[in-house]
Amino acid sequence: MTSKEKYRKEKKIGIDAIFGLWEKREIERPYLFGMGTDFKKLKLPFVWYDILNMVDTLSLYPEIYHEKIFQEMFKIIKDKETSEGYIPESIYLKAKKWDFGQKKKISEYMNAVINRIENRIENKVTVSASKTF
């Protein structure tokens, strides 16, 4: 069994769950996993349930790049780009010394994370999830 085939069923269940939450985001917020205004704010580090974390994780699976929901989520991120790059919209105070802990200036780290997602999409690269931890 190839690594691409491994856990195929489980991956599909997880992706379908995320897409289902997105489709019902206006009416359901199960177990506080809503996808409202705060979910859509750009923030780091990846300690929250938010759009950047979600799209970064989903970008590990090239088979979903064509899906409308993945494209909608990624477009929300891309639409927040300024002429200089991305600025965090929400911060974790314990990270205030880091560039992603500032809401008034560009975060090089956030730009690198979004660039990583773009590169995966452009190159349709499958990255082993175990290599990201």
The predicted structure's pLDDT at residue 47: 87
Any idea where the domains of the chain sit in the sequence? 36-132
Q: CA-to-CA distance for 113 and 109, rounded, in angstroms?
A: 6
User: pTM for the complete prediction?
Assistant: 0.86
Contact 60, 132 (CB under 8 A): yes
* Cα distance between residue 106 and residue 128, in whole Å: 29
Question: Is the pLDDT score of 128 beyond 60?
Answer: no
pLDDT of residue 49: 87
| pLDDT tens column, 16-47 | 999 999 999 988 877 777 898 999 999 999 98
The pLDDT assigned to 15 comes to: 96
- Does residue 13 carry a pLDDT above 90? yes
SS3 75: helix
